[in-house]
A and B are shown apart, each in its own frame.
Chain A
Amino acid sequence: MSQRIVIHPVTRIEGHAKVSIYVDDHGEVQSAQFHVTEFRGFEKLAEGRPLHEMPGLMSRICGICPISHILASSKAGDMILGVELPPAAYKQRRLVNCAQVLQSHSLSFFHLSSPDLLLGMDAPVERRHLFGLAEQEPEFVRRGIRLRQFGQRIIELVGGKRIHPSWGAPGGVLRPLTVEARDEILQWIPEALETVEFAIDRFKAILDRFQEEIEHLGNFPSLFMGTVNEDGELEFYDGRLRLVDAEGNIVADGLNPERYFTFLAEAAEEWSYMKFPYYKPLGYPGGIYRVGPLARVNVVHSMGTPRADRELREFRQRGWQVHNESFYYHYARLIEMLYCVEKIEELATDPEILGEVVRAKAGINHLEGIGSCEAPRGTLFHHYQVDEDGVVRKVNLLIATAQNNLAMNRAVEQAARRFVNGLRLTEGMLNRVEAAIRCYDPCLSCSTHAMGQMPLVVELRTLSGELLDRLQRD
């Protein structure tokens, strides 16, 4: 008899989700789905609020990436005010964005994924976590925690608080950066560089053990989307979007993120709270694209910093120009961490970042604003409509994790087909399915905001699975 295997909750990710695996009579996996089971509704509750509160309100979407939301929200606000930022504010925002990506990537790599990577996918579940790893490799864990602390410390030094700082605003930021804060940031750089390079070396040394996972944890062709600057280098804060295909051919370039709705669209499925964005010209679900670290390193010409570029060259020598293997998200994440540390040093040594003028003030000059930036998990869009008094009337959030929804579902199905045998389940099998999700480091609390049009289906079935009745609310 066919059966359904449920992994609930999916562990070591941010947010709540479950996985359903459908198995036939012979124990063969037929299909698998990744369901997001939590609901937030931020798009709705922001309606009616003053524009200037939006960065603070949107920050509350997530405790891991408050900065990404503050930035996208502030940028949407900049557009509504119609202002150009003072240089110091612009550079502060770029600096803090790098810090945000660094701390989030550290969390993903060291805290959430390294137990799988260093202890092994089949290690006893009682020990396969950060504390188990800390017993075996205390120095590795200590360095990882310190690296995340560095990212968080920058946010605290610049923004005033590690999580949800009251710092960003439409038109700029709230306060100038002090010399003391800048100096402390620079003091951390040598240790941070050493830690990231140590982690990269460690990762490369164990990579060969994971050939099967590399092959089967979400290895499929798709589009990749990321932001690049005018030289085609990696850009986190302010650039144009580029899409490449599975072979690395540029499908679209120079796309203006402020017009995302002309080339991206969202579909909804009744079995998940998370929407399914796709690339419009290719339709749904053919327009599947991936965002985040792997996508970004796949779309760029080069990283734009020396050490990260060196690692990118080696990364590309390990296969084709473009890696389709989701497992390489970990690798790409490490290269980006290196880029972040180098970029933080570059920005912090720029005297302009200490400028006293940090806020451009203006009234409501446009009734619509779109802000985007590269969040740790991919491209993030905030789209607001306001009235003449600056009261928010409509909000659309297009979150990085949601853009990976199609890809995560495909990765889950592929991993399940390869590793799960319905006749004899082992914990290690299911962990590999979870590990396929962890490659994407999804943040589900960020990504579930649709409201109003959630289709609901209730099915009444007999024990043998025969459908007796079906109710649908659209």
Chain B
Amino acid sequence: MSIKTLTIDGRMVTGAAGESIFDVAWNNGIRIPRLCHVGGISDVGACRLCLVEIEGWPKLAAACLTPVEEGMVVRTQTERLRRHRKLIVELLLAERNHVCSVCVQNGHCELQDLAAELGVDHVRVYYRFPRLGVDMSHERFGLDHNRCILCTRCVRVCDEVEGAHTWDVAGRGVNCMIVADMGEPWGNSETCTSCGKCVQVCPTGALFEKGKTVGEMYKDRRFLKYIVTAREKRQWIR
């Protein structure tokens, strides 16, 4: 395994060939914001929050999808990146109906935390206020499309870890939606095993346990590391 040496935010760090900038940065205590990346499942670069500057590169690169290279000089916290990230969060908030004060996830939401961290005190673009439904047909869980940011964590964890591939994405552009099976109510899905992994990895209150009220939903995705380690290394450790 060859080792690559690079500079991130002025610090000399090393990572294995094939490792992403994101992972190497996180392993070295350099925090890059993200909403679609979750350790243990594949990356798709959907949220664009982990964009970084790389010296000599003509455009910004998604850290989760860019492998480290020898001699790379990466910057993760510049004024330009901060500006872009702030706008991305504002666009996410404007795209659907995110009303934190009455959300099950209020107080423990990754989108909300990130907005606070980036200083999003108002949204500069027009809210779309789309009319979207809530799928409460599943016996144990609910899906509120109003709060979905299309990070597709649920799609990937269901496919790659649970192996059911109940979730997928349908439609294009603003009509893009998470769908169960071929677009039927979640409760009618023949493939869903009701394992709840999708709920636990969802960064917002879009997927939640039924019966939870405002601010009551906590997500716990420690299971993911446990399962992935068990599968890859045959070690059952928490």
Contact = CB atoms under 8 A, between A and B. Distances in A.
| Real binding pair | yes
A127 interface: no
Interface stretch (B62-70, B148-156, B169-177, B207-215): B207-215
B210 A390 contact: yes
A333 interface: no
Contacts of B211: 52, 361
B214 A50 contact: no
B137 interface: yes
Given A50-B210, A52-B211, A53-B102, A174 B136 contact: no
A166 B133 contact: no
Contacts of B102: 53, 56-57, 60
Interface in A50-66: 50, 52-53, 55-57, 59-60
A212 interface: no
A164 B107 CA distance: 13
Given A48-B133, A389-B136, A389-B137, A53 B101 contact: no
A7 B211 CA distance: 47
Contacts of A56: 101-102, 213-215
Interface in A378-424: 389-391
B214 A57 contact: yes
Contacts of B213: 52-53, 55-56, 166, 168-170, 174
B43 to A, nearest CB: 32
Contacts, number: 50
Contacts of B104: 52-53
B142 A50 contact: yes
User: Chain A: interface residue count, which band?
Assistant: 20 to 34
A56 B210 CA distance: 15
Q: Most chain-A CB neighbours within 10 Å: which of B106, B211, B216?
A: B211
Interface in B13-43: none
A49 interface: yes
B125 interface: no
Contacts of B215: 56, 166
Given A60-B102, A164-B101, A166-B106, A391 B212 contact: no
Contacts of A52: 104, 210-213
B134 A166 contact: no
Interface string B176-187: 000000000001
B212 A48 contact: no
A254 B211 CA distance: 33
A166 B212 CA distance: 11
B136 to A, nearest CB: 4
Contacts of B142: 50
Nearest to B212: A52
A49 B101 contact: no
Contacts of B214: 53, 55-57, 59, 166
Interface of B: 101-102, 104, 106-107, 133-134, 136-137, 142, 144, 187, 210-216
6 contacts: A50-B142, A53-B213, A53-B214, A55-B213, A55-B214, A174-B216
List the 7 closest A-B pairs by CB distance, nearest first. Answer: A56-B214, A166-B215, A389-B136, A169-B213, A57-B102, A52-B213, A166-B214
